[in-house]
Structure 1
Amino acid sequence: MLDGMTTTASTGPGSAPVPSPAISEAPTTDNRHRPLLAVVLGAQFMALLDVFIVNVAAPTIGTELHASGADLQLVIAGYAITYSVLLITGARLGERLGHRRVHLAGLVLFTAASLACGLAQGVTELIVFRLAQGAGSALMIPQVLSLIQRTFTGESRARALGAYTAVLATGAAAGQVLGGVLVSADLFGTGWRPVFLVNVPVGAVLLAVGRRVLPPDPTPGRRQRRGLDLPGLVLLGAAVSLFTVPLVLGQEQDWPLWSWLSLTASAVVFALFCGYESRLARRGGTPLIAPRVLRHPGMGLAVLRILAVMAVNGGFLFALTLHVQGGLGFSALRAGLTFAPTAVVFGLVGLTWRRWPASWQRVLAPAGFWLSALSVAGVGLVLDGGGDGGVLVYVAYAGVGAGLALGFSPTLTGALATVRPEDAADASGLLATVTQLGQLTGVAVFGTLFLNRVESLGAFEAYTSAEALLACMFALAGTAAAAAVSGLVLRRR
């Protein structure tokens, strides 16, 4: 499919792609490519799982390895830092060396690093191996969207992207649930180690199956040979690093001066990156991200919406976890199960929205943001006062899942529907990076809001935690509403 993929056209993020007759090839079938989809989505699920599974194991890791708060923050955040910084690089390496080859190499690195994490004898080792895990994810995850883009067409591609979005949601919640189960079980007295070791057999199976079902890479003569744009890689890597490091470490260190200087520097370096890329494109060079991808119809709106969805998702999960565990005293397992309704409904909506009436398709994304706004506000109101919310809170959780799915799934599908095969790597790396940065931003911004509000109210108790949660949920609702309105304004323009 690398050279004969059917191009598509769409009338908007919610519309169905229409095959173009310009390039013809026999249509793909779901049955033929289900093993491939299972392998790449299995890798995606495993990488997402690892973002969240360590959270509930952190207290046990701290006790057994005598780790400081800063050490634990690096254990949790180190993965996210290398993952987000290297995503664009991973996408371009897949384009140059072959998506199959780079995906499998990333899977090998991730699995080996997971084994090393599980066997680590000190916190320094664990931090280093977590950084390696993130690098492995950055190699394999950009290839997921690229392989879907280059293997599936038409309705098959839309269904594959629906499964992809469902995995994004279930991976987050499943990480918290599975982390709670494994730590509580304390298998063979291993404590926190199974949260890493569980990746080893899964990674080995995915590697064995992937070698058989992933499509072969084109020969070097037919493969795209655009340069790596090393100056662009350095500038973008520096900008993302300067942005992500203070986001993941700032709260733990009470937002010192260096964190604000780093965030300011990230904006400056990103401006330098944009200027350099524009000049390189005008000179006929090969920029890190092709300008035509950024100018692609709907791409700007997609970036905005995906940032908003992931920021709301990250902030919601983080603040609610702090409330139910710290304020309400839920166990790690019960806290993880709290998110099951959100994840299940997100997955169901992500898989089925394309079957809904055609007249609804264009308004699904903005409607999803409004539903998210109402639902997250509802969570705050139902839990206000320090209670568990009863049945109503589960209705609100389900509304959050449905709203976020409608904000994300049609947006992603619409953005990728007409991307040309040769731009798949750039688009995949861009949207994967946006997804990760949105998640980190949501955790940092809304997590800080929640914790600062709790601190201003005094002791961390059910009532004060609920009041802080209410303020945080209203802020999240405002973010979702702003995304809905901004999206409508951009669409008119």
Structure 2
Amino acid sequence: MALVDAFIVNVAVPTIGAELHATGAGLQLVVAGYAIPYSVLLITGARLGDLLGHRRVHLAGLALFTAASLACGLAQGTGQLIAFRMIQGAGSAVMIPQVLSLIQRHFTGEARGRALGLYSAVLATGAAVGQVLGGLLVSADLFGTSWRPVFLVNVPVGVVLLLLGARVLPRDDARAPERAHRLDLPGLVLLGAAVSLLTIPLVLGQEKDWPLWSWLSLAASAVLFALFSVYESRVARRGGTPLIAPRVLRHPGVGLAVFRIMAAMAVNGGFLFVLTLHIQGGLGYSALRAGLTFAPTAVVFGLVGLTWRTWPASWQRVLIPAGFALTAVSVAAVGLALRDGHEAGFRLYAALAAVGAGLALSFSPTLTGALATVRPEDAADASGLLATVAQLGQLMGVAAFGTLFLNRLESLGASGAYTSSDALLVCMFALAATAAAGAVSGLVRRRR
């Protein structure tokens, strides 16, 4: 639900704007209102679970997310919808890290590997599923409710999950609440400010034509990230409890995994965003057809993400570079299939399926390999870190490749399917280059 909701609203935006008489800035904040608190609070949510109990915090986040989804579906104005979307994002940030921490603490050996594989498959498939589900729900116009089911669909699912979670999730350590005073508040403030200063211009800068404040914000975020790193190292040396334990970053393979996850999710986010712009704006697809276009990517991503661990052992070492290489070839093939401004038929859907396979092989083995050997006591730090990296990668991909697409359209000085396909082809080649960099990183052996 959390990953779907980052994307499900995309195809509903035109309908929301028409019904609520929203401005362009207001619609942008409907989308960004979820992404910003979600990105900022992920690491804090992971730490809260470690301190207060993962079961307790997960159910609290799920309840907040479900209630906010209901409020979004009932919103009567743009301001209300933006506010409830922010609460929904905060609920996701509290809910999501507990899943990975619970896996780390309650599964071992092959069982942990299988659970991590399932987690990573669901995590990255959510983006494409969101596009598909959004198109279906908006076009269905259930009971004349227009765009509202894209939020209301979470309510029955959330209620069922709350009931099931209360029964089946492992009980928390009774001593966990006693450790709540160890929350690193200065570190939390520094990290929250750094991530906010990074995500806000990434989300809003493109629409505002990258004004000076957006670049100053990005520069300030780099400074605050450096200060956060210095402060956390100092806290650890003094025997304190930093928000992110430095040993997690020094753990074999984590640094390389951060780069690979960032690259894979940047390609994922950028690919979905620019292709949506092209097929809805350039080709004039309806919300339903636009959503269904991504079905091959979502289905194949899920299938590969769930089965790659059962493939021959001799293949396992090359899955990551092969996945990035397949992604590079297939995103370029999507651009070539659509280069003439017309529909491409089977060639397009075959390339979209290959994108799903390539991204699954790039992302799932990377995440599973990085976390399989992390110590249980570091589960919260690792889960928050990698979930944040995945989300920031999506945002950076949307910002970078979306800007490239729109700037190319503007430079061509014309409108229409052919012009849009030209801009799309440039973006797809840029996405292919990013995936190729990931393929090179996939050849690097992680430090023992």
Place the TM-score, normalised by the shorter chain, in its bin: over 0.9
The one-character-per-residue Cα deviations of 1:78-119 (angstroms, maximum 9, x if unpaired) are 101000000000000000000000000001100111111111
The one-letter code matched in structure 2 to 1:271 is A
1:236 paired with 2:205, answer: no
Corresponding residue number in structure 2 for 1:265: 220
Alignment of 1:26-425 (within 5 A): 46-220=1-175, 227-425=182-380
CA displacement 1:399-448 (0-9 Å, x = unmatched): 11111111111111110111111100000000100010000000000011
CA contact 2:135–2:292 (8 Å) conserved in 1: no
Q: Deviations over 1:181-210 (max 9, x none)?
A: 221122222221111111111111100111
Deviation for aligned residue 1:301: 0.7
**Alpha-carbon distance in 2 for matches of 1:223, 1:313:** 41
Structure 1 residue runs of 5 or longer lacking an equivalent are: 1-45
Task: Give the AA of the match of 1:383.
Answer: L
Of residues 347-356 and 179-188 in structure 1, the stretch that sits farther from structure 2 once superposed is: 179-188
Whether contact under 8 Å (1:301, 1:490) holds in the other structure is: no
Q: Aligned equivalents of 1:84 and 1:170: distance in 2?
A: 18
Task: Name which of 439, 464, 478 aligns with 2:433.
Answer: 478
C-alpha deviation, 1:223, in angstroms:
7.3
* 8 Å Cα contact 1:416/1:427 also seen in 2: yes
Tell me how far apart the structure 1 counterparts of residues 92 and 177 of structure 2 sit (CA, whole Å).
Answer: 27
Q: Structure 1 pair 133/225, CA: closer, same or farther in 2 (3 Å)?
A: closer
Structure 1 CA distance for aligned equivalents of residues 169 and 21 of structure 2:
43
C-alpha separation between the residues in 2 aligned to 1:120 and 1:96? 34
CA–CA distance in structure 2, aligned partners of residues 337 and 459 of structure 1? 28
- CA shift, 1:489, in A, is 4.4
What is the TM-score of this pair, normalised by structure 1? Answer: 0.89
Matched residues in 2 for 1:370 and 1:224: separation? 46
Query: Within 2, Cα distance between the matches of 1:364 and 1:488?
Result: 10
Q: Give 3-state SS (helix, strand or coil) of 1:52's partner.
A: coil
- Give the Cα–Cα distance (whole angstroms) in 1 for the partners of residues 141 and 353 of structure 2: 31
Question: CA 1:141 to 1:311, structure 2 compared with 1: closer, same or farther past 3 Å?
Answer: same
Instruction: Could you list the structure 1 runs, at least 4 aligned residues long, displaced by more than 6 angstroms after superposition.
Output: none
Deviates more, 1:121-130 or 1:85-94: 121-130
Rounded Cα–Cα distance in structure 1 between residues aligned with 2:447 and 2:94: 37
Task: Verify the 8 A CA contact 2:117 2:306 in the aligned structure 1.
Answer: yes
Matches for 1:442-461 after TM superposition, within 5 Å: 442-461=397-416
In structure 1, C-alpha distance between the alignment counterparts of 2:136 and 2:447, rounded to whole Å: 48
- Cα distance in 1 for partners of 2:440, 2:335 equals 22
For the residues of structure 1 that align with 2:283 and 2:230, how far apart are their CA atoms?
Answer: 50
Distance 1:491 1:140 in 2: 30
Q: Give the CA RMSD over aligned residues.
A: 1.5
Contact 2:53 2:176 in 1 (8 A): no
Q: Are 1:374 and 1:477, in contact at CA under 8 Å, matched by a contact in 2?
A: yes
CA-to-aligned-CA distance 1:317-353 (integer Å, 9 cap, x gap): 0010111111111111111111111111111111111
1:492 CA displacement: 7.8
Q: Using a 3 Å threshold, how does the CA distance of structure 1 residues 67 and 352 change in structure 2: closer, same or farther?
A: same
AA in 2 matched with 1:192: W
Residue of structure 2 aligned with 1:436, choices 391, 405, 409: 391
Do the aligned partners of residues 75 and 328 (structure 1) sit closer, same or farther apart at CA in structure 2, a change above 3 Å counting?
Answer: same
- Quick one: distance in 2 between partners of 1:349 and 1:253? 38
Paired letter, 2:149: P
CA contact (8 A) 1:165 1:347 kept: no
The one-letter code matched in structure 1 to 2:240 is G
Write the distance in 2 (CA, Å) between the matches of 1:156 and 1:388.
Answer: 44
Give the structure 2 partner of residue 13 of structure 1: none
CA distance in 2, matches of 1:149, 1:64: 45
* Distance apart, 1:224 and its partner CA: 5.7
- How many Å apart are 1:59 and its aligned residue? 1.0
Deviates more, 1:99-108 or 1:276-285: 276-285
